[in-house]
Amino acid sequence: MFADENVIRIKHDVLYEVAKLAFEGTLEEERDHLPRKMIPGPTPQFRCCVYKEREIIRQRIRLAEGKAPGPEDNGNVVQVISSACEDCPISSYVVTDNCQNRPVTMIGPKGLEKTVNALRVIAPGLPFDVRFIELSEKEQELHVNGYHIKAFRVNHNVPCYGYTITVPRGGKFHPELAKANEVPLKLWSRLQKGETIEQDGRIFTPDMVIGPARRGIKLTYCTDTRPMDIIADNAAGSDLFICEGMYGDRDKQKKAAEFKHMTMYEAARLGRKAEVKEMWLTHYSPSMLHPEDYMKEVRKIFPHAHAGRDRWSKTLDFVDEEGED
């Protein structure tokens, strides 16, 4: 069964059971027993475990009764089942932090906050806080929500930055290393989580049980600029490089230089120089109706280039290096 169909079935089943109990006049005494009745176990049906599934059913029961899914009603028209958002199997919907009233962080050149707040005149009330990080250096490194972000200034008519986002990946646990370092077994788990522990006059550190950091995930995004070495340097080895390809016609080269954009062919040369695994072109001129028409020539420069389209998405996964156990 497709994930969307599964969710529809669960909603229907919860509404049916709640309506049935309400009609029989037994909803009050049977409500708390309903999640276990619907999810008897021991095998989970649509999540990692029966306990999470039962919690989702509990919150859906509250919604069926016209209540908020959790103990507090935030007043939102659209209510979010928090336990269902984690590991959501549906790819056709994207649940962002916005609907859960979590703050949104915006990163950009100096003046970002003033510009955004001016635009918010037409939408002054937001159900979440907006936090601003304004950039002023030629290159600037940030750590936000577990991501390592490297911003680098590019060459446009107004201040613009490109961004490389890296998801770091720790080393593998090696029991042989732990034994060689005479680390007590009871400390292994805590050291794997990054703790430094002092015990019996010794200091135990994570590197005594964990190998060197492994290759993480790297994505680079850059538009509104002329080609620059700093772009290729920061994009080097990226799993995905999203770059502007404003013009496909070769006779638009002069126009690209004048307005400080780049052609598809200039972008492809950056991708080739950076040796990225995959490249998506975007930020097309409105006059370019069919960007895919130019890709044959573009791929002569860089074979892994693609003409990006609206609503494209891609999952980037950790990949073990050759020879890694």
Residue 312 located in a structural domain: no
Q: How many CB atoms lie within 10 A of CB 147?
A: 14
Task: Provide the domain limits for residue 199.
Answer: 171-208
Give the mean pLDDT of the chain: 88
Pair 224, 150 in one domain: yes
How far apart CA 222 and CA 162 sit, in angstroms, is 4
Strands (E), 58-103: none
Pair 41, 129 in one domain: no
Q: Does the pLDDT of residue 255 top 60, yes or no?
A: yes
pLDDT of 301 reads 98
pLDDT band at residue 88 under the 50/70/90 scheme: low
Nearest to 269 by CA among 304, 321, 293: 304
* pLDDT per position as a tens digit, 141-198: 999 888 999 999 999 999 999 999 999 998 999 999 999 999 999 999 899 888 999 9
pLDDT of 321 reads 65
pLDDT band at residue 299 under the 50/70/90 scheme: very high
Question: Which one has a higher pLDDT value, 250 or 323?
Answer: 250
Pair 225, 155 in one domain: yes
Out of 38, 68, 95, pick the residue that ends a domain: 95
Pair 163, 90 in one domain: no
Pair 184, 262 in one domain: no
Residue 313 located in a structural domain: no
* pLDDT per position as a tens digit, 194-210: 899 999 999 999 999 99
Residue 40 located in a structural domain: yes
Pair 190, 232 in one domain: no
Pair 85, 26 in one domain: yes
Pair 161, 298 in one domain: yes
pLDDT band at residue 97 under the 50/70/90 scheme: low
pLDDT of 145 reads 82
pLDDT of 109 reads 96
Pair 286, 164 in one domain: yes
Out of 95, 125, 146, pick the residue that ends a domain: 95
* pLDDT per position as a tens digit, 105-132: 999 999 999 999 888 887 777 778 899 9
Residue 318 located in a structural domain: no
Pair 32, 85 in one domain: yes
Question: How many structural domains comprise the chain?
Answer: 4
Pair 220, 204 in one domain: no
The mean per-residue pLDDT over the stretch 227-241 comes to 98
Q: Does the pLDDT of residue 33 top 50, yes or no?
A: yes
Angle between helices 50-64 and 3-24 (to 10 degrees): 60
Q: Which CATH number does the domain housing residue 255 bear?
A: 3.60.15.10
pLDDT of 218 reads 97
pLDDT band at residue 76 under the 50/70/90 scheme: low
pTM > 0.85: no
Residue 269 located in a structural domain: yes
Q: Does the pLDDT of residue 91 top 70, yes or no?
A: no
Pair 121, 196 in one domain: no
Residue 323 located in a structural domain: no
Q: H or E stretch including 316?
A: none
pLDDT of 2 reads 45
Contacts of 248 (CB under 8 A, 6+ apart): 263, 264, 284, 288, 291, 293, 294, 298
Out of 95, 124, 154, pick the residue that ends a domain: 95
Q: Does the pLDDT of residue 225 top 80, yes or no?
A: yes
Do 244 and 205 meet the contact criterion of CB atoms below 8 Å apart? no
How far apart CA 192 and CA 309 sit, in angstroms, is 41
pLDDT of 65 reads 85
Residue 315 located in a structural domain: no
The mean per-residue pLDDT over the stretch 7-24 comes to 88
Residue 251 located in a structural domain: yes
How far apart CA 90 and CA 11 sit, in angstroms, is 14
Q: H or E stretch including 268?
A: helix 264-274
